[in-house]
Amino acid sequence: MLQVIQGPSKSFWPALCALGLGALAAYTAVAWILQIQSISVAPSAVPNATQAVVPPSAQNAIQSSHVAAALGAPKAAEGQSGAIVGASSEHQWTLLGVVAGASGRGSALLAVDGQPPKAYLPGQTVAPGWVLHSVGHRLARLAPSQQGTPTVILELPKAEN
């Protein structure tokens, strides 16, 4: 009789599966150890972020110049105010920038009587007795609060290139 003897059959699949399961078990053990360690750390050991204290006068100066530049105020005419067209008033108006859409909505960056500039929306009180009536391309219209028609129009100076 004839006997067929086969050589040793070596398959790599059982070894590969064993290696994968061993790696998964090691990963799970390390993840659990790290999780347990993070719970045991006291919250007071975590450093707190500190903020730099900036005086309010320096904050306003920084914000005003950045906002004015973003709203289209010319860089060369930093001390120059917007031109006043119409009736003069007892207030000194300084128009530093305008953001206006085609619908007439937007805001104006105004400084009143040498105060730090603030952004105003149409309808907001700018000074006692004065409201921002509307904004347009490079201009803002002011009206007395008891009257609906604008009497003061502030325009930004033309940008020099």
Q: Is 74 in contact with 157 (CB distance < 8 Å)?
A: yes
What Å distances lie between residue 128 and 33, 86, 107, CA to CA? 66, 19, 19
Instruction: Encode pLDDT of 126-141 as tens digits.
Output: 888 888 888 888 888 8
Percent of the chain with pLDDT over 90: 11
pLDDT interval class at 86 (50, 70, 90): very low
Work out the average pLDDT over 64-82. 56
Can you tell me whether residue 44 is helix, strand or coil?
helix
Instruction: Encode pLDDT of 39-69 as tens digits.
Output: 765 555 555 555 555 555 554 545 566 666 6
Is residue 96 predicted with pLDDT exceeding 70?
yes
What Å distances lie between residue 106 and 112, 116, 135, 141, CA to CA? 19, 20, 7, 12
